[in-house]
Structure 1
Amino acid sequence: MTDVQLARQSWRRLEPLHGMIYFVPEATERYAALGLDVHAGYFASRSAAFGAASPELVIATFYNFCPALVRRALPAAWEAVTPEKILQARYDAADAALRRGGIHELPGLAETAALARRAAEHACEQPQGRPLFAAHATLPWPSDPLLELWHAQTLLREFRGDGHVATLLAEGVGPLEALVLHGASGGVPTIFLKLSRAWPEEEWLAAEESLRGRGLLAGDELTAEGRALKQRIEDRTDELAAPAYAALSDGELARLAELARPFGRGVVGAGLLNIGG
């Protein structure tokens, strides 16, 4: 049985490698060159693995963005660009940003990419119930080790994300409630969640009141019950993500976690996760 904590550690340490694509200027510049603003570039680039995704498909699979924000970006983005072009722009941006940060020069790149790829390919054998992951699983593997590692972590991230959405649904936590809980937990500043997800303030306040009514929120802070729910969601998400790593032995998974650390730290140290790059 896969060591769930080791699997989480491996994912968490490598996650900055994937996550930087949402913040670096290389991405926004390439999307702008295709005629897309920041929001259209984000929604189109992440959903392009589906093809010309509808707003409804993105609302369903991305889960926590205000539907009106999605509908302002899609389907209009597909009038300016094809899914193939923006996918290529996304890979080009990832490559350029990671190279700017010197990530391609870190030791152990080939070994890290090989281990992460084995986990990602094993995940590809179990796409059921994971639509956003399954779409990305159809994309071809890059031949360059740096982009191979980025693609592997992207797959592992979306595999985990689909499981997280399933867990939220099972726990009766809606998209806006999930954001409120996340902000109240201190993981991400609430102001960032409000700005990036663009829910109207009155709807945000209503979600807070709903959570207070459920005994999960007291003022702006999680109650003991709220903290327990948040932890239960994280634990179940970890459990649902762990099968991706079953192709690796415990020793190989520990090795991946060890190798992953300098890559995640390298991304953070290079400032690639800073808003605006």
Structure 2
Amino acid sequence: MFTHDDQTPPHVRETWQTLEPYHGAVYFSPEAHAAYAESGVVGRAGYFASRAAALGPVGPEVVTATFYNFNPEAVRAALPAAWEKAPPQELLAARLRGMDATLRRILGDEVLASADMRRAAELATTAAQSALPHVHGRALFAAHTALPWPEQPHLALWHAQTLLREFRGDGHVTALVGAELNGVEALVTHAAAGSVGAEALRTTRAWSQADWDTAVAGLRSRGWLTEDPDLAFTEEGAERRAAVERATDRLAATPYLELGADRCAELRTLVHPWSKALAQELMPWAVGRLVR
């Protein structure tokens, strides 16, 4: 391991970036949305309930805490009503069924049955399993560790990346809390960093313009943002946001350090074309972030 003063090796973030679309496709999958709808769970409720289902039939407070940057009112509109239509196990099965259909449609059965897919699943599983002992303070990750591991390699790879994604996400929440950023303020700093547009972040997380403007004003008063209407960081704000990202990388590092730089590079090379195909079809804004 390394100390808090050490630089996190670049392959930690690079491997997450390349594999993230392989997991993230489930949030944009028509097949997954259709599977939730078969159980009567539609719209944003499908996202909240399917991702939270590993936690059990929890209330909106738990989901607000673990998902972090969504408007609590949107969460309350979805839960617990979704559990009255479909229990968590039903939605977990629908999620996996929808992702299986999406991978078959976009990647094709030949890719799914390939030796490359089996090797990628093996590598990602090794990384994810090395994180299993480190559940402390990682509620969403911990819940997913209790789920059964899929037998088919393409779904095992997806499950492994789901674990790695939630492991990183829980660490990111820790970093945001440490920076004293609430959910909407975290989104504002994300927008100021320039990787995703402010309007997309605000609307997909269901914040009103008034909520957003209040967060912007608060961050300006704290010295994070300039008075520029286009959301520009001050020097202090840029450094503090960078510190959040460094902390996130550091807290996410364990499984990638265990796998090692060479095997992480192999995993990226294998998954890159699949992540690219999924991103091009379902989330084109993510294509430019892929690292081979």
Category of TM-score, reference length = shorter chain: over 0.9
Q: Which residue identity lines up with residue 75 of structure 1 in the other structure? A: P
Aligned ranges 1:209-228 → 2 under 5 Å: 209-218=217-226, 219=228, 220-228=231-239
1:54 to 27, 46, 59: 59
Paired residues of 2:107 and 2:274 also in contact (CA < 8 A): no
Tell me, yes or no, if structure 1 residue 131 matches structure 2 residue 150: no
- Counterparts of 1:146-185 in structure 2, within 5 Å, are 146-185=154-193
Shift of residue 140, structure 1, vs aligned partner: 0.5
Structure 1 residues not aligned, in runs of 5+: none
- Out of 114, 118, 127, the residue aligned to residue 126 of structure 2 is 118
Q: Label 1:129 to 1:77 Cα distance change in 2 as closer, same or farther (>3 A).
A: same
1:9 aligns with 2:23: no
> Structure 2 CA distance, aligned partners of 1:127 and 1:42?
23
Question: What is the aligned-residue identity percentage?
Answer: 46
Structure 1 pair 104–114 and aligned structure 2 pair: CA distance change class (3 A): farther
Residue 204 of structure 1 corresponds to 212
Aligned mates of 1:65, 1:215 — CA distance in 2: 24
With the length of structure 1 as denominator, give the TM-score of the two structures: 0.94
Q: Which runs of 5+ in 2 are unaligned?
A: 3-7, 286-292
1:104, distance to aligned residue in structure 2 (A): 5.2
User: Does 2:239 align with 1:234?
Assistant: no
- Secondary structure of the equivalent of 2:196? coil
Contact 1:31 1:38 in 2 (8 A): no
Number of residue equivalences: 274
The structure whose RCO (Cα within 8 Å, separation 6+) is larger is: 1
User: 1:187 maps to which residue?
Assistant: 195
> Whole-Å Cα distance in 1 between the matches of residues 273 and 135 of structure 2?
30
CA distance in 2: counterparts of 1:117 and 1:104, whole angstroms: 21
Q: Give the whole-Å Cα distance in 2 for the aligned partners of 1:64 and 1:105.
A: 39
The RMSD of aligned alpha carbons is 1.6
Q: Which amino acid aligns with 1:193?
A: L
Q: Which runs of 4+ in 1 moved over 6 A?
A: none
Matched, 1:272 2:277: no
